[in-house]
Amino acid sequence: MGASDSKLNFRKAVIQLTTKTQPVEATDDAFWDQFWADTATSVQDVFALVPAAEIRAVREESPSNLATLCYKAVEKLVQAADSGCSSEKEKQIALNCARLLTRILPYIFEDPDWRGFFWSTVPGAGQGMADDGEDDGARPLAESLLLAIADLLFCPDFTVQSHRKGGPDTVEDIHSIDSCEYIWEAGVGFAQSPPLNYTHDLNRTELLKLLLTCFSEAMYLPPSSSDSSVLNPWVTFFCSSENRHTLPLFTSLLNVVCAYDPVGYGIPYNHLLFSDYREQLVEHAVQILIVTLEHEGPAPDPSSSPSSMDEQEAMGPDNLFVNYLSRIHRDEDYDFVLKGLARLLINPLTQTYLPNSTKKIQFHQELLVLFWKLCDFNKKFLFFVLKISDVLDILVPILFYLNDARADQSRVGLMHIGVFILLLLSGERNFGVRLNKPYSLHVPMDIPVFTGTHADLLIVVFHKIITSGHQRLQPLFDCLLTIIVNVSPYLKSLSMVAANKLLHLLEAFSTTWFLFSSSQNHHLVFFLLEVFNNIIQYQFDGNYNLVYAIIRKRNIFHQLANLPSDPVSIQKALQRKRKSPDAISRTASQETVSMEGSRPAIPAEPGTLKTSLAATPGIDKLTEKSQVSEDGTMVSVPQTESPQTPPSDHSGTAGASDTESNSGRDNEDVFYTESEMERRRLSSVSSATSWTPTPDWVLSWKNKLPLQTIMRLLQVLVPQVEKICIDKGLTDESEILKFLQHGTLVGLLPVPHPILIRKYQANAGTATWFRTYMWGVVYLRNVDPPIWYDTDVRLFEIQRV
């Protein structure tokens, strides 16, 4: 029978299903087999031949038929897993059932009345599906389905190489094989790389697509109900000890991702001639990893008996994927994972002389989430990353993506994950130290050309984001400056370009209209002063460029010291704001030529789809302060208001809740869904108008500005520099720099302040943000077929730019 005939038959069966008002008996195999037995349909065909409206119609009008269809499809998969899929026909049936379930499941999840269906036991369904002899009442359909998928992912000659010793007639018993011998790729915990087999890759991809669809129930619960204590039942069961394949599957997924080399054998244009089945497998593998590696619910109750808590501690998390990830410990495994992720992250940046000659991957967002989870669940991995300069191979692509996405509203999520990773890394001293390595890569980026270190690169990119990103990035300014503060005590020598950028930011943030236009903006000035103080106190010797820039722009510091706080000046400043709505002056920065070959950051194409994100906590909730003691160890600082940062005036943030981003200046908080925004706009009109800067408010923080060190530096050096200029009739910078290079302030500065580091700390707010972001990425990236498109997703809103 031709392919078109089989499609016709399949379509007929779908129509019959929608038009039959009477329930079709589960035993009517002739009817049900039409859906999978003799059809050669691709997953794209199934999506075309089973329209959404018809699935919903069956769900509403003949629910028992939809229930039987799901039950029969799962039963077929269970039988396929039991028999080991030895014939081509069985393989075809298994794939057809997987495709059909991938199509139908989202419509089960979108209806609250149906959501429990897969977790109920189907009466009378015990027969074909109970485990050998142990009929402990039938399993819920969801469990049978998940175990069948797991078995099928290690099915010889279907998804893995057969290890058959005897002749072609001997069949490996799928129940007795040790799937750890069938891991898909060499890497962590496995040495042999099986030969590539594109049919196996295709079959694995189809099964992983179904698995991802099973896990996607999370998309249909509103963010409020998906708080971190509620676990996804599909993920919980699949990653539990009930699934005997968790270890080999986790290892297979991780190794397939980290061993993948998109450039292949280095043949230009290779990817245009051959479809790369491995790439689709890698994309699905990384998506499965990021959605299964979820935090357990709340921590065990400390009031419970200590022994049970110790046991819990010794066993590690119940989610075995998280458990295995947290237990990876060999340096060679860390090296394999880190090099693999770095290779993939740098891939879209690599330029070749032949346009389009190398393959560019599209799944960098998933890779960044995976890197985040590795660091989060395995602290030893984080320390390994920071121990060697390889961390810079992760840093450079992140800075590239941040710079490239800064004007594109559809990529706000990418900006956040990049900044979160850098915030996490910046809490460790080694990261600051590594940044001193000279930057010599020639990745074309739309930033000024400079000669310097990776620290210079970071500062120049952050400056570009702040001065020429879109408005919705304002809540990230606190995070960006916190990262610079965290690394500043370790930066040995900033370039002139980077030094000028930092002073330009201070100039922009310390204009009176900016300081007085929101109750939080002065924090940005405190962060920048802290950066200058750290560098002057701890790295004065090599930082003559910065000292020179501070001397040249000394009026900024004098203006801050003499900031007016009388009512008339405050009013004048606010009127100036109305005239110039632009947040940061873009003119004052002398823009230099951008790097050769770079393309400017561009806004999203109108109509680009994006998904809304959850709120991110303010920087005070995102981080906790640690003080660096003499020997370099960090001591946590109790959460009291330190003189460094003034108490934030909460009457000003309209009673900011934990989840609201305190840095959402001007009450322009970008993370809420549009309807929520409208509600907030109405409620905040009163509060926004009620906050006005007062003289007392200005004085409350002005007196705490940490200007002493810089004023002392200016007091000592300015007269000396002026004298050189007069004596030698100099206008030449190099002479002054030479003088500053050999100058010293030993004994002239105030006693050095302790170094304060703000370390990222996990919290419920970021957990919710990650879940929303990650599922949003999965939703938008799965367009062929569009698994969730036009279904009633509740975790986020789908918006057009």
Task: Give the Cα-Cα-Cα angle 344, 348, 349 (nearest 5 degrees).
Answer: 110
- Is the confidence at residue 345, as pLDDT, over 80? yes
Confidence (pLDDT) at 121: 79
The number of CA neighbours under 13 Å toward the Cβ of 422 is 34
User: pLDDT digits over 30-79, tens only?
Assistant: 999 999 987 778 999 999 999 999 999 999 999 999 999 999 999 999 99
Q: Average pLDDT in the 630-646 region?
A: 64
Percent of the chain whose pLDDT exceeds 90: 59
Contacting residues for 784 by C-beta, under 8 A, at least 6 apart: 44
Contact indicator for 444, 597 with CB cutoff of 8 Å: yes
User: pLDDT digits over 548-591, tens only?
Assistant: 999 999 999 999 999 999 999 999 988 886 665 454 544 444 45
- Is the confidence at residue 670, as pLDDT, over 80? no
Contacting residues for 746 by C-beta, under 8 A, at least 6 apart: none
Sign of CA dihedral 728, 734, 736, 739: negative
- Is the confidence at residue 678, as pLDDT, over 80? no
User: pLDDT digits over 152-194, tens only?
Assistant: 999 999 999 988 765 555 566 777 789 999 999 999 989 989 9
In a 10 Å sphere around its CB, with 0-12 CB exposed, 13-18 middle and 19+ buried, how is residue 574 labelled? Answer: middle
Task: Check residues 339 and 6 and name the one with the higher pLDDT.
Answer: 339
Sign of CA dihedral 171, 174, 175, 179: positive
d(CA 185, CA 456): 39
pTM for the structure as a whole: 0.88
Contacting residues for 689 by C-beta, under 8 A, at least 6 apart: none
Structure tokens at 33: 């087999």
Backbone angles phi, psi at 197, to 5 degrees: -140, 110
Q: Side chain identity at 437, as an amino acid letter?
A: K
As a dihedral over the C-alpha atoms of residue 565, residue 568, residue 571, residue 572, rounded to 10 degrees, the angle is -100
Task: Grade residue 691 by pLDDT with cuts at 50, 70 and 90.
Answer: confident
Structure tokens at 397: 């692509």
In a 10 Å sphere around its CB, with 0-12 CB exposed, 13-18 middle and 19+ buried, how is residue 716 labelled? Answer: middle
d(CA 240, CA 233): 11
Residue with token string 């199509």: 103
The number of CA neighbours under 13 Å toward the Cβ of 146 is 26
d(CA 140, CA 117): 9
Confidence (pLDDT) at 716: 93
- Is the confidence at residue 219, as pLDDT, over 60? yes
Q: Rounded mean pLDDT of the chain?
A: 84
Q: Average pLDDT in the 514-536 region?
A: 95
Contact indicator for 478, 619 with CB cutoff of 8 Å: yes
Strands (E) in 494-641, as ranges, are: 609-611, 623-628, 634-636
Task: Give the Cα-Cα-Cα angle 663, 665, 667 (nearest 5 degrees).
Answer: 110
Sign of CA dihedral 449, 450, 451, 456: negative
* CA-to-CA separations, 105 to 45, 68, 440, in angstroms, rounded: 17, 13, 50
- Is the confidence at residue 752, as pLDDT, over 60? yes
- Give the residues across from 628 on adjacent strands: 634, 755
Contact indicator for 594, 791 with CB cutoff of 8 Å: no
Confidence (pLDDT) at 639: 66
d(CA 452, CA 439): 6
Confidence (pLDDT) at 230: 73
Q: Side chain identity at 38, as an amino acid letter?
A: D
Contact indicator for 427, 379 with CB cutoff of 8 Å: no
Confidence (pLDDT) at 646: 39
- Give the residues across from 627 on adjacent strands: 635, 756
d(CA 69, CA 374): 39
- The DSSP letter of residue 190 is B
Backbone angles phi, psi at 510, to 5 degrees: -105, 10
Structure tokens at 695: 């003289």
Task: Grade residue 650 by pLDDT with cuts at 50, 70 and 90.
Answer: very low
What strand order describes the sheet that includes 623-628? 634-636, 623-628, 755-760
Pairing mode, strands 755-760 and 609-611: unpaired
Confidence (pLDDT) at 724: 84
Helix, strand, coil fractions of the chain, as percent rounded to 5: 55, 5, 40
User: Using a CB cutoff of 8 Å and minimum separation of 24, what contacts does 245-248 make?
Assistant: 245/150, 245/151, 245/153, 245/154, 245/179, 246/320, 246/321, 246/324, 247/180, 247/320, 247/324, 248/154, 248/179, 248/180, 248/182, 248/183
Pairing mode, strands 634-636 and 609-611: unpaired
Most confident of 93-102, 569-578, 597-606: 93-102
d(CA 665, CA 650): 13
Contacting residues for 63 by C-beta, under 8 A, at least 6 apart: none
Contact indicator for 425, 381 with CB cutoff of 8 Å: no
Confidence (pLDDT) at 1: 56
